[in-house]
Amino acid sequence: MIQRLLIALLIPAALVAAAPRGQAQRVVKRIASECPMGYIDMGNGKCSALGLMTYTLRPAMGEDCPAGWTDVGGGYCRRD
């Protein structure tokens, strides 16, 4: 009985832990000559938040950021 209860609790917990966390990125490809605000140039063509924070970013693709997104430089928009 206790084993079944334990298994019933552990399986959903494992699925939640293994699920993707949306589109928040700690490391992004450097698109422009500078990194987005809050990211540091790693010198290998990537920008990193050093694990301190994660933002949901998307490339601006040379256009204005859509509603609900903020331009953070480096060719990226961040979700508000």
Assess if residue 70 is contained within a domain. Answer: yes
Assess if residue 1 is contained within a domain. Answer: no
Assess if residue 69 is contained within a domain. Answer: yes
Whole-number pLDDT of residue 18: 36
Residue whose entry in the numeric block shows the structure tokens 């990226």: 76
User: Which helix (H) or strand (E) segment is 76 a member of?
Assistant: strand 76-79
Give which of 21, 16, 18, 32 is closest to 77, Cα–Cα: 32
Its pTM surpasses 0.75: no
Assess if residue 58 is contained within a domain. Answer: yes
Assess if residue 75 is contained within a domain. Answer: yes
* Number of domain units in the chain: 1
Cα(40)–Cα(21) distance, integer angstroms: 22
Q: Is the pLDDT of residue 6 over 90?
A: no
Per-residue pLDDT of 50-65, as tens digits, reads 988 888 999 998 899 9
User: Containing domain of residue 42, as a range?
Assistant: 22-79
Assess if residue 3 is contained within a domain. Answer: no
DSSP code for 33:
S
Q: Is the pLDDT of residue 42 over 50?
A: yes
Assess if residue 62 is contained within a domain. Answer: yes
